[in-house]
């Protein structure tokens, strides 16, 4: 095996580079671009959609396949308006908003020191004498809509601002049909909507996003233990999927940051190019949610333990993560630039690559004929059909081999299978490894199985070693 040792440069990532790569390679586009765009809304292209699907499937794997105490749910986005009264969102899901009478811009009152004003010489809103900020007023982040054909006589409804409430309102259904009892969890992935005052930083904060939330219902006296359990599990999930542990931390909320119902909350934070920021929140929510829905709906939402004769309202531990934010963290952590060393193809050149965990990579293998003649494309197509039966694969015969490798590096494809003149003679191909640039000759009959096996093998990022 030919194994050059690539010289990895310092962490070269910036948010601008991620945005540019996502656009260049079709991961993420600004939404409604042909109409001039709509603020902070994004569409995911082919590779972005595949990456997102892989993140979600890894979350499902951790919730459902690797344990047997969690069940899935997929609840509606539109729910009874009383849900949001009971949850407290109608009264309290607000951010403090200030307007500037001079420039007409709006800001979050608690964000003034960080956001730019856009009006020189004022750096931040309120800095200059010309700024004229209003008093802060509460702005509810829920999007309102109307159920029914006539706006005036229809019922007001809200696009859900979190997926969690769809779980709580189904607690009784699930308890009845899932043959689970506390401690057990209900997990959901789905879209949520928040009319954020200051969305931004690419897909970090948008008005429409996806969440992965799990509500774990436990006997009250076990709540603390399960809270600790989920802190550990959730950090482990990110690390096993390749995030560098030194770019990940748990930050416990200060008492004045805690929601009134939460006895403890910790955020999993990632060191984004914008600084340490929340990736996921893990909260000990006590019995607040079930008790409130019981109060507002009149239904009993409790558990009767036939063994002990005990009746109680379970307490809830909630790990709540964002799909889009996780995608951004995986992209940022994977982004790398290096000068290719040794005798590898492209030696001396700078290559950009995504060192994504193979399980997350949108495409696992690209099948590339070296030349567009001598029977190579035909043989490559045959190999491609075999490989794509097992893993997400791509066939590419356009442009120079170097250009095709660069493209696969940039979308994070862990393996390139190259068909050359020797392949048509002896039924072997080369497998090029993204991270090390090592090339290995493999019989065609074995290549699909080999790639499938390597994609599911444990992996850690070479960026750790640099």
Contact residues for ligand ATP, defined by CB under 6 A: 162, 194, 196, 205-206, 209, 211, 278-281, 320-322, 324-325
Q: Which is nearer to ligand ATP, 194 or 364 (CB)?
A: 194
- Separation of alpha carbons 436 and 218, rounded Å: 46
Sheet holding 439-443, edge to edge: 393-395, 365-369, 415-419, 428-433, 439-443
| Euclidean distance between the first and the last CA atom of the chain, given in angstroms as a whole number | 22
Q: Which is nearer to ligand ATP, 115 or 438 (CB)?
A: 115
**How remote is the C-alpha of 411 from its chain's centroid?**
17
N residues, the chain: 466
Closest separation between CB of residue 189 and ligand ATP, Å? 11
Closest separation between CB of residue 159 and ligand ATP, Å? 13
- Separation of alpha carbons 329 and 52, rounded Å: 12
DSSP letter for each residue of 322-380: EHHHHHHHHHHHHEEEEE--TTSTTTTSEEEEE---TTT-S-SEEEEESSSSTTHHHHH
Q: Which is nearer to ligand ATP, 181 or 253 (CB)?
A: 253
Q: Which is nearer to ligand ATP, 27 or 209 (CB)?
A: 209
- Separation of alpha carbons 89 and 421, rounded Å: 65
Closest separation between CB of residue 262 and ligand ATP, Å? 10
Closest separation between CB of residue 137 and ligand ATP, Å? 19
Closest separation between CB of residue 358 and ligand ATP, Å? 24
Q: Which is nearer to ligand ATP, 261 or 312 (CB)?
A: 261
Helices and strands, number each (H, E), in the chain: 13, 24
Closest separation between CB of residue 320 and ligand ATP, Å? 4
Q: Which is nearer to ligand ATP, 178 or 198 (CB)?
A: 198
Closest separation between CB of residue 174 and ligand ATP, Å? 21
310: alpha, beta or left? (left if phi > 0; alpha if psi -120 to 50): beta
Closest separation between CB of residue 268 and ligand ATP, Å? 8
Residues 6+ apart with CB under 8 A from 116: 123, 124
DSSP letter for each residue of 85-137: HHHSHHHH-EEEEEEBTTT--EEEGGGTTTS---STT-SSTTSSTT--BPPPE
Q: Which is nearer to ligand ATP, 210 or 394 (CB)?
A: 210
Phi and psi at residue 263, in whole multiples of 5°?
A: -90, -20
Q: Which is nearer to ligand ATP, 102 or 141 (CB)?
A: 141
Q: Nearest to ligand ATP by Cβ — which residue?
A: 322
Please state, as a whole number, how many other Cβ atoms lie within 10 Å of the Cβ of residue 367.
26
Q: Which is nearer to ligand ATP, 188 or 206 (CB)?
A: 206
Q: Which helix (DSSP H) or strand (DSSP E) does residue 193 occupy?
A: strand 184-193
Work out the burial of residue 320: count CB atoms within 10 Å of its CB; fewer than 13 is exposed, 13-18 middle, 19 or more buried.
Answer: buried
Closest separation between CB of residue 27 and ligand ATP, Å? 16
Beta bridge partners of 24: none
Q: Which is nearer to ligand ATP, 71 or 197 (CB)?
A: 197
Closest separation between CB of residue 276 and ligand ATP, Å? 12
- Separation of alpha carbons 352 and 410, rounded Å: 6
Please, are residues 332 and 13 in contact by the beta-carbon 8 Å criterion? yes
């Amino acid at each position: 095996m030919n194994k050059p040792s690539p010289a990895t440069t310092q962490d070269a990532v910036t948010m601008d580079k991620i945005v540019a790569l996502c656009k260049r390679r079709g991961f993420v586009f600004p939404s409604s671009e042909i109409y001039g765009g709509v603020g902070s809304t994004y569409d995911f292209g082919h590779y972005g959609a595949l990456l997102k699907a892989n993140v979600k499937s890894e979350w499902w794997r951790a919730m459902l396949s690797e344990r047997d105490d969690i069940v899935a749910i997929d609840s509606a986005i539109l729910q009874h308006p009383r849900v949001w009264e009971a949850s407290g969102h109608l009264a309290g899901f607000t951010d403090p908003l200030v307007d500037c009478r001079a420039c007409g811009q709006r800001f979050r009152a608690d964000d003034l020191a960080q956001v730019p004003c856009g009006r020189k010489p004022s750096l931040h809103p309120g800095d200059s004498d010309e700024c004229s900020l209003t008093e802060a007023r509460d702005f509810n982040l829920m999007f309102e809509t109307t159920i029914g054909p006539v706006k005036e006589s229809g019922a007001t409804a809200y696009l859900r601002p979190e997926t969690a409430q769809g779980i709580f309102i189904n607690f009784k259904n699930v308890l009845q049909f899932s043959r689970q009892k506390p401690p057990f969890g209900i997990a959901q992935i789905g879209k949520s909507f928040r009319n954020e005052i200051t969305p931004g930083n690419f897909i970090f904060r948008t008005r429409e996003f996806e969440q992965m939330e799990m509500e774990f219902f436990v006997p009250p006296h076990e709540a603390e233990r399960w809270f600790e359990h989920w802190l550990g599990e959730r950090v482990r999930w990110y690390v096993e999927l390749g995030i560098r542990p030194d770019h990940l931390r748990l930050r416990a909320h200060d008492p004045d940051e805690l929601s009134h119902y939460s006895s403890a909350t910790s955020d999993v934070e990632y060191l984004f190019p914008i600084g340490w920021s929340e990736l996921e929140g893990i909260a000990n929510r006590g019995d607040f949610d079930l008790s409130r829905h019981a109060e507002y709906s009149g239904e009993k939402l409790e558990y009767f333990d036939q063994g002990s004769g005990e009746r109680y309202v379970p307490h809830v531990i909630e790990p709540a993560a964002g799909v889009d934010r996780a995608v951004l963290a995986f992209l940022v952590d994977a982004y790398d630039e290096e000068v290719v060393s040794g005798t590898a193809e492209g030696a001396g050149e700078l290559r950009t690559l995504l060192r994504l965990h193979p399980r997350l990579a949108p495409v696992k293998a690209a099948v590339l004929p070296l030349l567009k003649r001598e029977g190579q494309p035909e043989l490559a197509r045959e190999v491609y059909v075999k490989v794509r039966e097992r893993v997400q694969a791509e066939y590419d015969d356009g442009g120079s081999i170097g250009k095709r490798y660069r493209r696969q590096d940039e979308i994070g494809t862990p393996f390139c299978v190259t068909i050359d003149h020797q392949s048509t003679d002896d039924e072997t191909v080369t497998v090029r490894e993204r991270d090390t640039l090592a090339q290995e000759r493999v019989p065609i009959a074995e290549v699909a199985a080999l790639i499938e096996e390597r994609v599911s093998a444990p992996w850690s990022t070479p960026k750790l070693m640099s």
